[in-house]
Amino acid sequence: MQDGATQHTSNQRTSLSLMTQLTMDKAYIAILSFAFLFLLHYILGKVSNGRRSKGAVQLPPSPQAIPFLGHLHLLEKPFHAALCRLAERLGPVFSLRLGSRRAVVVSSAECARECFTEHDVIFADRPQFPSQLLVSFDGIALSTSSYGPHWRNLRRVAAVQLLSAHRVACMSGVIGGEVRAMARRLFRAAAASPGGDGAARVQLKRRLFELSLSVLMETIAQTKGTRSEADADTDMSVEAQEFKKVVDEIIPHIGAANLWDYLPVLRWFDVFGVRNKILAAVSRRDAFMLRLIDAERRRVDGGAEGDKKSMIAVLLTLQKTEPEVYTDTMIMALCANLFGAGTETTSTTTEWAMSLLLNHPAALKKAQAEIDAAVGTSRLVTADDVPRLAYLQCIVSETLRLYPAAPLLLPHQSSADCKVGGYNVPSGTMLMVNAYAIHRDPAAWERPLEFVPERFEDGKAEGRFMIPFGMGRRRCPGETLALRTIGMVLATLVQCFDWERVDGAEVDMTESGGLTIPKAVPLEAVCRPRTAMRDVLQSL
């Protein structure tokens, strides 16, 4: 018995010893790999510096790099703000080495124009990040695919079939319906407020995300979010909660400042489990998309398309004539791209607009007075009214100037050698255009950090350079839909409700980081139905 126990203990010790040895071996491999990469970087850096000293190329100025990491240690969050500080020191064009990647950052209107006009074709490509390949069906999505025949076909389909001016105009009814539903839920939330004063404290981001998703669900797949009768007035449908969770899990792992994309060693060992986190979120997103596509396919096959085809129905029709092009994967990638781009950016921009108005109550009152004069208080504002609301349009423009939804746009990549701002940019260099810095350039804008919608009145800002939706061939094709949705939502919120800051405290305008520019602290505000609009709201 004792001999058996002793043998068992010995075996356990041997197993533990082997496990410890394996762990130590992995650690040694990691250390040796790091040392090898460090040495390789040092040698290549010496060679590169030697070539530069001989005048082989005139690269843009660059801050001091450190071995292996390059300039990754400078990537403080939010990344766009960190790049603004570097531009103040290095100039409007400077270069970075982000781990294994070369990058050029442009922070002036003049150089951005040069990139997207003179060199538009050269910079029409996208860098292929490992994280984005996982999210974008191995790079075939519209926003991430390489420039070429596949991208041109996707762009044509998006611009002509899905997001044309005519099709977006036809979406006005859908947008209006979802805006009315949001106004109704806010009105009921205020009526049911515990204080009995007819005011409700609401977190707007959740409601705005729900609205953006609902508009897309109805236009892309002819379906609505589901709520039980008990939850009819909640701020988010089941689908919105599901998709927002997916977005919140994916966004932190993609974008220009994601270390996982620049350091192969992090991907080899993946000590933080980034790959598994991305794949888990993508799996849930794909299941969400497949449910929509399968439901729409059943409707199309059953002949129940109706007069207005959904975007998926259009793609399924194209699939019948060109099945090798419009595969299920391609359709899913395109729809996922539209959902991903259209929900977070639209809701975030509207949240920033409301935050700015709450901190500038005079501008809020001015917008409200304009709507009362142009529309009145006997009906809700419509999509046809919005273009006539000049001051509201100024508010939207000023919001996009201060808080562009994608502050660094999406990264581009050079497909050939070229010059930007007089500096050489080698082929294969990643280009980051800091729209955030360009929009706040004191040489172009008076009081650039202040919220002044009046700067856009009467065409005073005409010709001023702004690129909240990008520029050139890869400009965002969803711009028209985004602006129409933001205008309708903002006009309705201002027309129907009086808004107050919580406890009178200034709204926190701290920015967070990522591919977009979300608020670090989600906006909460006190919503009170306007007396003049109460009859209209009760009839919704």
Residue from 209, 130, 222 nearest 170 by CA = 222
Between vectors from CA 180 to CA 179 and to CA 184, what angle results, nearest 5°? 120
Q: Is 419 helix (H, G, I), strand (E, B) or coil?
A: strand
- What tokens appear for 100 in the block? 């294994």
Sign of CA dihedral 343, 346, 352, 356: negative
Query: CB-side exposure of 26: number of CA atoms within 13 Å?
Result: 10
Which are the contacts of 331, defined by CB distance < 8 A and separation ≥ 6? 293, 312, 315, 316, 319
How many residues does the structure list for the chain?
Answer: 540
**In this structure, what are the phi and psi dihedrals at residue 183, rounded to the nearest 5 degrees?**
-60, -40
What does the pLDDT read at residue 225? 76
Residue from 536, 527, 539 nearest 191 by CA = 527
Cβ–Cβ < 8 Å for 471, 112: yes
- What tokens appear for 59 in the block? 């690269």
What does the pLDDT read at residue 56? 53
Type of residue numbered 37: L
Rounded to an integer, what distance in angstroms lies between the CA atom of residue 508 and that of residue 135? Answer: 32
Rounded to an integer, what distance in angstroms lies between the CA atom of residue 271 and that of residue 265? Answer: 10
Q: Residues of 164-180 as b/e, b for ≥16 C-beta within 10 angstroms?
A: eeebbeebbebbbebbb
- Confirm or deny that 476 is annotated as ligand binding: yes
What does the pLDDT read at residue 9? 46
**511, β-bridge pairs:** 519
What does the pLDDT read at residue 49? 47
Q: Give the residue extent of every domain in the chain.
A: 149-538
CA 276 to each of CA 134, 247, 282: distance values in angstroms, whole numbers, following the listed order: 10, 15, 10
Burial of 109 from C-beta contacts in 10 A (0-12 / 13-18 / 19+) = buried
Type of residue numbered 286: D
Strand order in the sheet with 497-501: 200-203, 524-529, 497-501
What does the pLDDT read at residue 174? 92
Residue from 513, 450, 478 nearest 155 by CA = 478
What does the pLDDT read at residue 54? 43
Q: At what angle do helices 204-221 and 328-359 cross, to 10 degrees?
A: 150
Give the DSSP letter of residue 519: B
**419, β-bridge pairs:** 424
Residue from 248, 174, 259 nearest 209 by CA = 248
| 302-308: Cβ within 8 A, 24+ apart | 306/222, 308/170
Cβ–Cβ < 8 Å for 315, 173: no
Class of the CATH-defined domain 149-538: mainly alpha
**93, β-bridge pairs:** 106
Query: CB-side exposure of 131: number of CA atoms within 13 Å?
Result: 25
- What tokens appear for 526 in the block? 């006190």
Residue ranges for the chain with pLDDT beneath 50? 1-28, 30-32, 35, 39, 41-55
Q: At what angle do helices 390-402 and 328-359 cross, to 10 degrees?
A: 110
